[in-house]
Structure formats: C-alpha cells, structure tokens
Amino acid sequence: MTGKPKIAALIVAAGQGVRSGGDMPKQYRRIGGRTVLAYAVDALADHPAIDRLQVVISAGHDDLYADAVGDRALPPPVTGGATRRDSVIAGIQAVDADIVLIHDAARPFLPAAVVDRLIAALDVSDGAVPALAVADTLAKGDGLLGDTVARDGLYRVQTPQAFRRDAILAAHAAWNPGREATDDAQVARAAGLSVAIVEGDPALDKLTFAADFDQAEKRMMVSRTAQGFDVHGFTAGDAVQLGGVRIAHDRALAGHSDADVALHALTDALLGSISAGDIGSHFPPSDQRWKGADSEIFLAHARDLVARDGGIIDHVDLTIICEAPKVGPHRDAIRERIAALLGIRIGQVSVKATTTERLGFTGRGEGIAAQAMATVRVPRHQ
C-alpha cells in the first residue's frame, strides 16, 4: 500500500447485552463514571492514525447513545440491522476509507499499541486480528470431564479487526446469508482473504457477564480518603443538632445554619475526596439563603457531587468531641440518619465520641468539635 491510507474505525454498538444483567444494553452501562461505549470511542478517537470514527447503534437507542457519548464531536450514528453482520455492513458502507477497523463496543479498554500492530500488519495481509494464545487446559465434557484438547496453535480472537475496506465489504456480500458469522475474520477467510494474527491484549477481553463488569469497575476506580473538621460554640437553647439528630441539651450550637458540627465535618470530608473545596465555598456564611438552614442540605449536596463525578462512597467515620451531651445513647440514630442521607448501609457508617479530658475549649464545655474521614472510590481518570 503506497501513500498514507485513509483509516476509519467502526464501533459496533447495536447489541442488547442481556447476559450482562442490568437494566440497559451493556454498551450504555457506566464503569468508573463513563459508559462502556465512551471508553471505546475515546480510545479510537484519540489514536493519531484514525481519520474517522463511526458508531453503529440499534434502532430506538438514539437517546441512550446521546447520553453515552455526551458532547464528543462524532458523526451521526448509523442504525444497525437485525444481526451483527447487518450492522457491520451498514457501518462499512457509511465510511469513505481505505482501511476499516471493526471493533465491538463491549471491548472498551483498547490499548493504542494494538491498533498500531493491526495497521502495520495490513502491509502484508488483507486483514489482521488481535489474538491471545490459549493458556488454560482445554477439555471436552458434558457434565463430566472428558478428554483434553491440545491447545497448541489455539487463540482467543479479539477486536478491533482491520481490513482493506473494499475487500471486507465484498467478503460480506459473498457470505452465505443463511449462516451467522461470529466475527469479520471468519467472513474474510471464507472469501479467501489472508488474515494475520497480531498480539492482542488482556485488557481487550469482552464484557459479557455481570462478573466482567465487577472486575472492570475495580480496574477503573481508585480509592481516596479525605478528612473534614468543624467546630461550633454553644449558645442559649435547649437542644443541639448532631449528625442529623436533635439531642436535648441545656444549650444549643451557634452557627449561621443549624450548626450541625458533625454533618459539616462529614460534608467537608466528602468534598475533599473529589477535590471540590470546602463547605464554605459552596454555602458561604455571607449568603442569607443558608441562615438557619438544615445541614442535611449540605451533606446531600456533597453526596450528589460525588455521584456526579462517578464516585462511590465506601465508608465514613465520624468522631464527635465534647464533654456533653452524651453521644453514646444517640449513636445508632446518628448512624442510621447519615446512612439514609448518603444512600449507604449503616455498616458503612462509623460514629464515635470522645472528650479532651477537660482540656481546651471542648473540655471547658464551650462547644463541640467533630472530625470526619470519608473513603470514596472515584474514576481513575478524575
């Protein structure tokens, strides 16, 4: 092939993905804050050798697609057909290119080096596929283990699969429509095209079952721990608000809002986990809207920001520091309220109380302090 070929990448995202569980096709499910489709789109769109990216979707999935790709600059999606092969043909026909890379959206984590190897292989072959040699023992069986099968020369074939566009389009046209092909390399070989094997990558394993998504989630998330601290002094009153629970006391806590020192510290811890500033930057005391406000509003705001960034709250730990009132009798109520506010299990909420042995302002009974820690999983790309 002389000159620089025009290369198009085709992402086939027209399946229903029912084996993976969930309430939507797997290409639109989110992992680490991004959809499966978005990972595949970004991997191919960012590759310098690819001139055009085309996605094929199922009829009726336009809204799911728009939500999945967001504001990424892409040509309108092509509507696929009843079978994968129909969808591939529709996608190939929609692109003007010398070479086409046909990729399954269910393989979202595509290393750029695999694309490089595929394109290079087309200098000597009509097509190329990434593959990994089979390492496990293979055996026949029907409820009981049968004879083993030699694994020498056996491969697990992946995508993307690269072909000269006109050749693979002609191969699909010649394919027996009464049979369904499992991939495009099968169609190419049936038409007499040579298909090279290049080194694949374990990251390209297909997401098929619910357990695959669990593993992908772990791969794409990192854990962060952040802390929060707050102090409020006493004023005249008959109760304090702690952790969303009203506790009778001979004084109240002074503050611009309801002065829930526990929820304030926890709010700062959550904001810190996503590097989103502190409670004062979101709810400044100078703003009269927050005068006397329920601090549950602040915690809910921090919770929603974590969720917006694709974060998952794993655990929160709260320490309340005061001589009085006694926190112990209210500990479980506080845990239950915080768990409800954050949408997590009560077992993910730790509440402790301590004194400062009569030292400092809390020891003198002048106020209450609280410190909090939040452990949050966030997308690796955040």
CATH classification of the domain holding 322: 3.30.1330.50
Mean pLDDT of all residues belonging to the chain: 93
pLDDT tens figures, 146-170: 999 888 889 999 999 999 999 999 9
Residue 107 has pLDDT above 80, yes or no: yes
Nearest-angstrom CA–CA distance, 265 and 271: 10
Whether 37 and 73 map to the same domain: the answer is: yes
Measure the CA angle with vertex 19, ends 182 and 204; round to 5°: 55
Residue 13, amino acid: A
The contacts of residue 382 (CB under 8 Å, 6+ apart) are 33, 274, 309, 310, 311
Q: Are residues 153 and 254 in the same domain?
A: no
Beta-carbon contacts of 330 under 8 Å, excluding residues fewer than 6 positions away, are 242, 243, 245, 247
Average pLDDT score over residue span 162-183: 93
The pairing of strands 195-199 and 349-354 is: unpaired
Domain match, 202 and 236 both: no
Q: 306 and 195 in one domain?
A: no
What secondary structure letter does DSSP report for 311?
-
- Mean pLDDT over residues 195-223, rounded? 90
Rounded to 10 degrees, the C-alpha dihedral 209/210/216/222 comes to -170
Residue 56 covered by a domain? yes
Helix, strand or coil, per DSSP, at residue 281: helix
Q: Does residue 98 lie in a domain region?
A: yes
3 in helix, strand or coil?
A: coil
> What is the pLDDT confidence band of residue 381, given thresholds at 50, 70 and 90?
low
* pTM for the model: 0.70
Instruction: Report the pLDDT value the prediction gives residue 376, as an integer from 0 to 100.
Output: 96
pLDDT for 212 beyond 80: yes
For residues 225 and 290, state if they share a domain: yes
Does 129 lie in the same domain as 230?
no
- Convert the pLDDT of each residue in 125-143 to its tens digit: 999 999 999 988 989 998 8
Domain boundaries, position 274: 221-379
Tens-digit pLDDT profile for residues 339-372 = 999 999 999 999 999 999 999 999 999 999 999 9
Would 1 be classed as within a structural domain?
no
What's the rounded mean pLDDT across residues 78-85? 93
Residue 86 phi/psi, 5-degree rounding, is -60, -40
pLDDT (0 to 100) of residue 310 = 82
Q: Count the domains in the chain.
A: 2
Residues 146 and 87 in one domain: yes
What is the per-residue pLDDT for 21? 54
**Is residue 188 domain-shared with residue 255, that is, in the same domain?**
no
* Mean pLDDT calculated for residue range 78-98: 95
290-338 pLDDT, tens digit per residue, is 988 999 999 999 999 999 888 899 999 999 999 999 999 999 999 999 9
Q: Where is the domain boundary, 208, 240, 274?
A: 208
Q: What is the mean pLDDT of residues 25-31?
A: 91
d(CA 298, CA 264): 7
152, 179, 208: which is the final residue of a domain? 208
Q: Is there a single domain that holds both residue 60 and residue 198?
A: yes
pLDDT at 37: 96
pLDDT at position 2 is 57
Q: Reply yes or no on whether the pLDDT at 20 is more than 70.
A: no
Q: Of 152, 180, 208, which residue constitutes the final position of a domain? A: 208
Do residues 199 and 235 share a domain? Answer: no
What CATH number should be reported for the domain holding residue 174?
3.90.550.10
Instruction: Look up residue 325 and give its DSSP letter.
Output: S
Higher pLDDT residue, 53 or 217? 53
pLDDT at 1: 47
